[in-house]
Structure 1
């Protein structure tokens, strides 16, 4: 075979080389910027089964886009057809060129422009015969169908199941235009070649045959390949500076995440990797409840990530509710909320806050500590209900923060006072452990998550009060008289999406009420989150009102939540009664329901009780 070269390939080679050099440099920086502990995780992960799991996830999410498919089949097809189709064109092109040249190590442009060097089998005899030309045409058609979906998404997003799409920056628009032109340019170049040589399969051969009827394709063969090479070169030159940097970055993120690396202040390079892996696909736009009440403001995570990636000051830093809906919806798994939280300590907001008094409750040899939390002290009905539940269950318990002078530290952390939060955490850890209790029950989902994820409490079990009540009912430590009412449950962000506590509240509600009419779907933020400190009260009320309307669409008699802050937020915006799950339980308690034979046991529900 003659020498496989033509000057037009230099354009593509230059652009591809720029992306390749950038990618190698970034991978080095991402790995070098990890903490020693995270580098150790990577080293050990390479020599473990996690490597193969990461490879499977890369195929599943970067090529097939399984998560997008499960959430939105039309959008999933668009992403899959473009990513998987393009990958297969490259792979099969490489196999075909290797098959005919016998050269495994050859310039990459040979595989990319193979149809220029080898026009393929004769048309129409080979149009529908299985072979390389047929398979390549099949995958090119797949990519072109995905391109059609992408164009529809950009101009009529609702047709592919999206209410909103990301507002592109000028450089992103240039890259997007180049991406859209790549595959039509390839189709035309290959079809011109096939028309000039009388070759091709069902797609390129047919189109080339039509070209040959209208005009002589031969003079246009080389110009169309130059154009195709120019478009490819343009895209690869732009890729490192646009949202399309996610294409090579996402697999790296998947591997490091599988190895156990997480966003942290000790490994800033992993945050940078997360930012580059964000494709600005726009799925988080519809997930964000602020999109409805703050139209036009770029508060969502894709805009926040883009600003950080470009070295700019993120817009609306303190408007985010930190509810986690965007992170739950993100198909790439970018750690959106931790990234936002890491940016807050440098802003200086909240420096004037005072460290809460560290009033310890030491020396009490009790089996259960009850930690109400700051927000619960603003809703005394929950505290009185928990007192009633504890007493009726026969538990030996102590109200740790009865004076309201203790805090888990999360509000301080959200306000940027990480050092004060750390000091508070250490003091509370000591106080909890010195109490000798084996169980810590809290009514605040924020406290529950912080105690479980950030506190070191060896030998101490931590439960949210909805879990505790569920276990009391299961073990018949308390008994309730079911009502004839219906209820809908609001899933607090930190409890459900944040901590994965989804089953127990439902069990309690079905024990208390005649029917559970909770609408299906992703958990909704009440709008009262401590995260959005800069949000106007009107915006918060609008979020709460919208969430309440969705939660009560089935006309429940009562709206149940499991968070004191959510209860306070919902009460002013709905005419339906709002109760915490502890209040509902206490209301329907049957007096004297604690079973004497259970009191004699020293191991009930995984912790000690009174004999």
Structure 2
């Protein structure tokens, strides 16, 4: 509990100030409709834990873990409530409190197989060995693909490779890629997240990598921000997200992109937008396509609504996560766009499931898959 004491003053203030701004677009509150699921409710729980009025138990864990780690509460409030909520998750995990089953499985599966999808790593990454870039010992960039693309969205890998090859980029692909640790970190298993971070860092060091190209928003946030905290050292590598990299390739004239007559709207992934500050690069990429009309949803950039998948929420509350995604798809439909595009494979999966749940005709793609179709 010691690591929570620094939040006591703010928790007290939050409990007594009746603004409730954090509830407005909180994905958990919007779906579950109880104050205790919003950041304000969680801060109230934190205060009473510190005062001994509540115990760390399953009921508290159920409320605290009902969070997508989207960070919208920070934007609404101005105080870093998401940090306090993350710390509560970590304390609950460390104290051995029984967590909601879906969240605990993320940690268990990663410990057993090296990834949260519980796929044998050797079998799951075997296809990488057939790629010519996996045979290279030297290249300008090392491509880190992430679990979701390797085990669930292989088409996204094909799209990215097609673009990089067309632009003549020098890159290599490690065949023994493992989870970056983000899923376990978001559910409070700091020890396992640190173990994953050390393994990934060692992999890059053994390969002599200087610049790491990442196309998963969650991996990007983890490698570029959270590793410094977990490993208590300065970043040893330059981490580049594919959106900024693609923007540079287009500006340098290295990609010939065919015309597309379509209205497109863009969903900001929480890890890439609010948590990493990358808003304009994907929009610049989309706007560079001749014939495309980029139309914004009502809630965009730092105010963008969450798709509902992050923070273990999709694993722990699958139906609620899909319902939240369906609401985001409806917001996209209201723009009149025919294509909803995002820059995160996890958002992509959840938004597609949300669209399917309401029989939406909205086409949902990643920036990479859209570009790959046009080159």
Cross-structure match for 1:331: 78
1:324, 1:337 within 8 Å by CA — same for their partners in 2?
Answer: no
1:363, 1:434 within 8 Å by CA — same for their partners in 2?
Answer: no
Is 1:419 equivalent to 2:191 in the alignment?
Answer: yes
Cross-structure match for 1:461: 238
1:326, 1:336 within 8 Å by CA — same for their partners in 2?
Answer: no
Aligned counterparts of 1:430 and 1:488: Cα–Cα separation in 2 = 39
| 1:474 aligns with one of 235, 251, 260 | 251
1:348 Cα offset (Å): 4.8
Q: Which protein has greater RCO, CA pairs closer than 8 Å, 6+ apart? A: 2
Measured against aligned partners, the alpha-carbon deviations of 1:507-542 in whole angstroms (never above 9, x if no partner) come to 011012520012242211111224326743321221
Range moving further from structure 2, 579-588 or 478-487: 478-487
Measured against aligned partners, the alpha-carbon deviations of 1:309-353 in whole angstroms (never above 9, x if no partner) come to 012253522221121111221134444443444334233542633
Aligned counterparts of 1:340 and 1:578: Cα–Cα separation in 2 = 35
1:458 and 1:326, CA in 2 relative to 1: closer, same or farther beyond 3 A? closer
| 1:558 aligns with one of 315, 328, 339 | 339
Aligned counterparts of 1:411 and 1:486: Cα–Cα separation in 2 = 33
Gapped runs of 5+ residues in structure 1? 1-264, 590-611
Aligned counterparts of 1:296 and 1:367: Cα–Cα separation in 2 = 50
Aligned counterparts of 1:576 and 1:408: Cα–Cα separation in 2 = 31
Aligned counterparts of 2:64 and 2:191: Cα–Cα separation in 1 = 20
- Larger of the two Rg values belongs to structure: 1
1:266 Cα offset (Å): 8.0
Cross-structure match for 1:510: 287
Measured against aligned partners, the alpha-carbon deviations of 1:377-432 in whole angstroms (never above 9, x if no partner) come to 211121001111111121221122x56x5011011223333212212211211211
Structure 1 counterpart SS, 2:178: coil
Measured against aligned partners, the alpha-carbon deviations of 1:527-558 in whole angstroms (never above 9, x if no partner) come to 12243267433212211111111122111121
| 2:68 aligns with one of 308, 315, 321 | 321
Is 1:306 equivalent to 2:44 in the alignment?
Answer: yes
Aligned counterparts of 1:566 and 1:394: Cα–Cα separation in 2 = 28
Structure 2 counterpart SS, 1:287: coil
1:448 and 1:301, CA in 2 relative to 1: closer, same or farther beyond 3 A? same
CA RMSD of aligned residues (A): 2.6
1:455 and 1:365, CA in 2 relative to 1: closer, same or farther beyond 3 A? farther
1:337 and 1:505, CA in 2 relative to 1: closer, same or farther beyond 3 A? farther
1:321 and 1:267, CA in 2 relative to 1: closer, same or farther beyond 3 A? closer
Structure 2 counterpart SS, 1:423: helix
1:272, 1:309 within 8 Å by CA — same for their partners in 2?
Answer: yes
Cross-structure match for 2:25: 287
| Number of equivalent positions | 323
Q: TM-score, normalised by structure 2?
A: 0.78
Structure 1 counterpart SS, 2:63: coil
Cross-structure match for 2:140: 367
| 2:157 aligns with one of 364, 378, 383 | 383
1:301, 1:336 within 8 Å by CA — same for their partners in 2?
Answer: no
Gapped runs of 5+ residues in structure 2? 115-120, 126-133, 229-233
Aligned counterparts of 1:472 and 1:363: Cα–Cα separation in 2 = 22
Structure 2 counterpart SS, 1:498: coil
2:182, 2:218 within 8 Å by CA — same for their partners in 1?
Answer: yes
1:348 and 1:410, CA in 2 relative to 1: closer, same or farther beyond 3 A? farther
1:307 Cα offset (Å): 1.2
Aligned counterparts of 2:135 and 2:207: Cα–Cα separation in 1 = 5
Structure 2 counterpart SS, 1:375: helix
Aligned counterparts of 2:315 and 2:162: Cα–Cα separation in 1 = 38
1:348 and 1:570, CA in 2 relative to 1: closer, same or farther beyond 3 A? same
Cross-structure match for 1:275: 11
1:327, 1:336 within 8 Å by CA — same for their partners in 2?
Answer: no
Cross-structure match for 2:180: 408
1:534 and 1:455, CA in 2 relative to 1: closer, same or farther beyond 3 A? closer
Q: TM-score, normalised by structure 1?
A: 0.49
Cross-structure match for 2:322: 541
Cross-structure match for 1:32: none
| 1:488 aligns with one of 265, 285, 290 | 265
Structure 1 counterpart SS, 2:313: coil
1:505 Cα offset (Å): 0.6
1:430 and 1:296, CA in 2 relative to 1: closer, same or farther beyond 3 A? closer
Aligned counterparts of 2:206 and 2:316: Cα–Cα separation in 1 = 40
Is 1:450 equivalent to 2:222 in the alignment?
Answer: yes
